[in-house]
Structure 1
Amino acid sequence: MTSILRRVYHITAFSWYAFIVKSLAAKDGEELPPGIFVYGGPWKYLTFLNLLLQMSFFGLAAVNDLQPGKNTESTLHRCKDLLFSVFAFPVGMFVVALFWSIFAYDRELVYPATIDTFFPPWINHAMHTLVLPILLGEVLVQPHVYPQTKHALAALGVVGFAYLFWIVWVYLSVGIWVYPLLGHFSTAGVVGFFFFNMSVVTLFYVLGDKLNRHLWSKDLNKMMAKAM
């Protein structure tokens, strides 16, 4: 029953994210507010990149479910666990937490009211709210083997710096910050904000690891014993 539930959950989550990504991609080329999809289209937004990340993870998880037996040592299984533990969970939780924190303070800094005309509320919640319960659901349906913390944080740091370089490149190319909030910071402020965000992502990584261990300690011990 648990195996069937896991398969249904992964296929459903993958289908949901594929639908959302398709819906957003269809907006490209429409008459949107100035600067929304200028230079890089939706690819410059962490929210959109996170949707692709979540879709990729659940797609990989669904394919992994089709493997015969419980081959926890397969390359596919290890890639799935790595993608979830290091990227999908901490980045997804970060997107939800940061977006709604800034939105509650002043939505114009992250999601201007003019966008509501083009993206109805359900899309906003699909991008910035439902990510959280879907991730928590994944934590509940199966255990994940986490890598060494230093390796995980190094990978997160590389990806974080790559994204920082990308949004700075967009600004230098077209003079528009991906998020209006960044326009209120000095250069030092942008750097400080980046490191603050990386600290929050790190905390979410640690949270995911602790939740995983708390819920699945017995299963993880068995998996580790088989690997030795």
Structure 2
Amino acid sequence: MFSAVFHLIMFIHYTFIIYYEQNILNPPEEIRKHEKIGLGSLKFITFWDLLVQWLYFTVALLNDILHSNTPVSGQHRKCSQLQKCRDFIFTTIGFSTATFVCSAFWGLYALDRELIQPAAVFDSWFPTWFNQGTHTVPIFGVLVEMQLICHRFPSRKTGFLTVACFASSYLLWTLFIGYYWDFWVYAILKQLTGFGRFVFITVMAAFFALTYFVGESLHHTSWKVKTL
């Protein structure tokens, strides 16, 4: 029962955050003039994460409402397609994207916030609570979810390739925006040289990939069962 309530709370949270970002948030002209570049908010990995989390908690909530849960000890082939979809999203891009976005954002923020969210550009219009809702809530959300629900993981190859393809898609999209429109989504990419960007992106890609194995390890440690 608690898991269903949690799924409802998170669904409402992400629905509101996405709506607020798209319809209420009022950035200055300096930001708005770049809105059409890179399909608007879709140039930001944070927005990708918000969509992924919204999708996951929508599916999880529907699974709760339709009572289509099957205990992890049961036969996987007897699981509903909705539950299989829920588990696949969470164990691949759900956990990994939330962990990557929040860890990378706050890591760079602690190092030098001007690299990721310059104070002069954001502080006047970007509310602190909204920043927490987009860059802190996701990682706590997936960690709580991991303790509430025992998910079935795909094969390691399938899971890792899914995360790798998702991460690569965003990195390629970022590079396309940077070189085609001459607009770097994050300040740190604008400051780096070509080789510096290569090193930074390689490190970020490796970290993104690592989050899959972190999630797999944490989940198996928490539940003490084989869920592959």
Q: So what's the TM-score if we normalise by structure 2? A: 0.88
Following superposition, the deviation at residue 196 of structure 1 comes to: 1.3
Task: Note closer, same or farther for the CA distance 1:68–1:104 as it changes in structure 2 (3 Å cut).
Answer: closer
The one-letter code matched in structure 2 to 1:101 is G
Q: Is the 8 A contact 2:178 2:184 kept in 1?
A: yes
Matched ranges for 1:146-225 at <5 A = 146-218=153-225
1:48-72 deviation line (CA, Å, top 9, x unaligned): 1101111110011000112335346
Task: Note closer, same or farther for the CA distance 1:6–1:165 as it changes in structure 2 (3 Å cut).
Answer: same
2:114 to 98, 108, 118: 108
User: Separation in 2 of the partners of 1:27 and 1:46?
Assistant: 20
User: Separation in 2 of the partners of 1:135 and 1:68?
Assistant: 21
Task: Note closer, same or farther for the CA distance 1:134–1:185 as it changes in structure 2 (3 Å cut).
Answer: same
Q: CA RMSD for the aligned pairs?
A: 2.0
User: Separation in 2 of the partners of 1:163 and 1:67?
Assistant: 33
- SS of match in other structure, 1:107: helix
Following superposition, the deviation at residue 187 of structure 1 comes to: 2.7
Q: Is the 8 A contact 1:28 1:41 kept in 2?
A: no
Following superposition, the deviation at residue 37 of structure 1 comes to: 2.6
Q: What residue is the counterpart of 1:80 in the other structure? A: 86
Q: Is the 8 A contact 2:92 2:159 kept in 1?
A: yes
Task: Note closer, same or farther for the CA distance 1:10–1:156 as it changes in structure 2 (3 Å cut).
Answer: same
Q: Is the 8 A contact 2:93 2:166 kept in 1?
A: no
Following superposition, the deviation at residue 28 of structure 1 comes to: 6.7
User: Separation in 2 of the partners of 1:36 and 1:200?
Assistant: 28
Task: Note closer, same or farther for the CA distance 1:126–1:28 as it changes in structure 2 (3 Å cut).
Answer: closer
Q: Is the 8 A contact 1:89 1:205 kept in 2?
A: yes
Q: What residue is the counterpart of 1:7 in the other structure? A: 4
User: Separation in 2 of the partners of 1:100 and 1:49?
Assistant: 17
Following superposition, the deviation at residue 29 of structure 1 comes to: 7.2
Q: Is the 8 A contact 1:103 1:109 kept in 2?
A: yes
Q: What residue is the counterpart of 1:17 in the other structure? A: 14
The one-letter code matched in structure 1 to 2:44 is Y
- SS of match in other structure, 1:33: helix
Following superposition, the deviation at residue 203 of structure 1 comes to: 2.1
The one-letter code matched in structure 2 to 1:45 is F
Task: Note closer, same or farther for the CA distance 1:69–1:155 as it changes in structure 2 (3 Å cut).
Answer: closer
Following superposition, the deviation at residue 91 of structure 1 comes to: 1.0
User: Separation in 2 of the partners of 1:180 and 1:30?
Assistant: 17
Poorly superposed stretches of 4+, deviation over 6 Å: none
Structure 1: runs of 5 or more not aligned? none
Q: So what's the TM-score if we normalise by structure 1? A: 0.88
Q: Structure 1 residues 69-78 or 155-164, which shifts more?
A: 69-78
